[in-house]
C-alpha cells in the first residue's frame, strides 16, 4: 500500500447518479487485487475532512477506476473532477476476494452500488469460469450493469426482472448450479449481506462478502471500522482484516 498522487483521466456519468472516475496511477494499478479499495482525499480542504474509501472497480493500462453513487459532499466533489486534476490516493488497501480455489461457477451477487468491485474480479477470473451476475436494485434505474457478465436482475418494485430482492432471486435460481463447484462473491448494503450470509451458511455455500463501514484512515490505525467476529472475542477491522470476509466469519 502506498500514498500516491493520481492524475484524473475522466469522470463519466454512466447512468443517472452513477459515476465512473478513472485515475492514472501505475503503481496502484499494478498492485491492486479484486475487492481491495483505495482511500481518496477528494480535495485539499478541511471539508469534507476525512478521506473517502472506494472499491477499485477496474484496471486498464495503468488506470484505476472507481464507481460511485452521488450521495454527499465527497462524491459531489469527485463527480466534478476534470482531466488532469490531481487526487491523493492511499491504496490498494485491505484484503480482497479469494478467487484462487477450485470452483467452476463464480456467482456474483450485487445490490445497487455493490456492483462496484466486480468488473475487476470478472477480469481476473480464469476464463474457464462460468460467471453469473445477480444484481438487484430498488427500481430499474438503480440497476448497475457496468462491465458485468451474464446478468440476471431483480427489482424491489418489479420494474425489471425478478420482482423481489436479489437474495430471493438467488435462492430461486441457485439450484441450477452444483453446490460444490460454486463460489459466491457478494457486495451490497448490510441488510442484503445479512440475508445472503444466513442463506449461504444454512445451505452450505462457499460465500465471500465485501463489507462497508465508515472509516477514517483505511489502514488500521484509527480502529474506527470494527466489525464483530464470529471466531474471536476481538473485533475485526473492515479496512485491514476485510473488507472481504468469508460470510461465516463476521456478524453483520
Partner 1 sequence: MRSIDLSVKIGSLNLQNPILLASGTVGYGNEISEYTDLTKIGGIVTKSVSLNPRKGNPPPRITETASGMLNAIGLANVGLEEFIKTKIPFLKNIGSTLICNIAASSIEEYVECTRTLDFEDTVKAFEINVSCPNVKDGGLIFGNDVKNVAIITEKVRAVTSKPIIIKLSPNTASIKEFAQAAKDGGADAVSAINTLVGTSFNIYTRKPKIKNITGGLSGPAIKPVALAKVLEISRNVDIPIIGIGGIMSWQDAVEFMICGATAVQLGTVNFINPNASLEIIDGLKNYCLETNLTKISDLTASFLI
Binding site for partner 1 (CB under 8 A): 1, 3, 41, 46-51, 90, 213-217, 219-228, 233-235, 240
CB-wise, 3 or 30, nearer to partner 1? 3
CB-wise, 40 or 148, nearer to partner 1? 40
Q: Is the peptide bond before 56 cis (omega within 30 degrees of 0)?
A: no
We find the least distance from the C-beta atom of residue 3 to partner 1, in angstroms, to be 6
Asked whether 18 and 144 are in contact (CB, 8 A), the reply is: yes
We find the least distance from the C-beta atom of residue 238 to partner 1, in angstroms, to be 9
We find the least distance from the C-beta atom of residue 46 to partner 1, in angstroms, to be 5
CB-wise, 39 or 67, nearer to partner 1? 39
Phi, psi (5° rounding) for residue 8?
-65, 130
We find the least distance from the C-beta atom of residue 220 to partner 1, in angstroms, to be 4
Residue 228: other Cβ atoms inside 10 A: 11
CB-wise, 48 or 164, nearer to partner 1? 48
CB-wise, 96 or 218, nearer to partner 1? 218
We find the least distance from the C-beta atom of residue 227 to partner 1, in angstroms, to be 7
CB-wise, 147 or 240, nearer to partner 1? 240
We find the least distance from the C-beta atom of residue 232 to partner 1, in angstroms, to be 10
Amino acid at each position: 500500500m502506498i500514498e500516491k498522487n493520481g492524475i484524473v483521466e475522466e469522470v463519466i456519468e454512466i447512468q443517472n447518479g452513477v459515476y465512473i472516475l478513472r485515475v492514472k496511477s501505475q503503481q496502484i494499478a499494478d498492485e491492486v487485487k479484486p475487492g481491495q479499495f483505495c482511500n481518496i482525499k477528494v480535495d485539499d480542504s478541511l471539508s469534507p475532512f476525512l478521506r473517502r474509501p472506494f472499491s477499485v472497480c477496474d484496471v486498464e493500462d495503468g488506470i484505476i477506476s472507481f464507481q460511485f453513487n452521488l450521495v454527499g459532499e465527497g462524491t459531489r466533489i469527485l463527480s466534478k473532477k476534470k482531466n488532469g486534476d490531481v487526487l491523493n490516493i492511499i491504496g490498494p488497501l485491505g484484503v480482497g476476494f479469494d478467487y484462487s480455489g477450485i470452483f467452476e461457477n463464480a456467482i456474483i451477487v450485487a445490490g445497487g452500488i455493490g456492483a462496484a468491485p466486480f468488473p475487476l474480479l470478472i477480469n481476473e477470473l480464469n476464463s474457464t469460469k462460468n460467471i453469473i451476475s445477480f444484481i438487484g436494485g430498488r427500481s430499474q434505474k438503480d440497476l448497475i450493469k457496468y462491465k458485468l457478465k451474464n446478468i440476471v436482475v431483480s427489482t424491489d418494485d418489479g420494474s425489471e426482472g425478478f420482482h423481489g430482492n436479489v437474495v430471493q432471486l438467488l435462492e430461486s435460481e441457485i439450484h441450477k448450479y452444483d453446490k460444490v463447484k460454486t463460489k459466491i462473491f457478494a457486495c451490497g448494503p448490510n441488510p442484503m449481506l445479512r440475508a445472503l450470509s444466513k442463506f449461504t451458511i444454512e445451505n452450505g455455500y462457499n460465500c465471500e462478502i465485501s463489507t462497508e463501514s465508515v472509516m477514517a484512515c483505511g489502514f488500521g490505525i484509527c480502529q474506527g471500522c470494527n466489525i464483530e467476529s464470529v471466531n474471536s472475542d476481538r473485533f475485526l477491522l473492515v479496512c485491514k482484516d476485510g473488507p472481504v470476509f468469508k460470510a461465516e466469519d463476521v456478524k453483520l
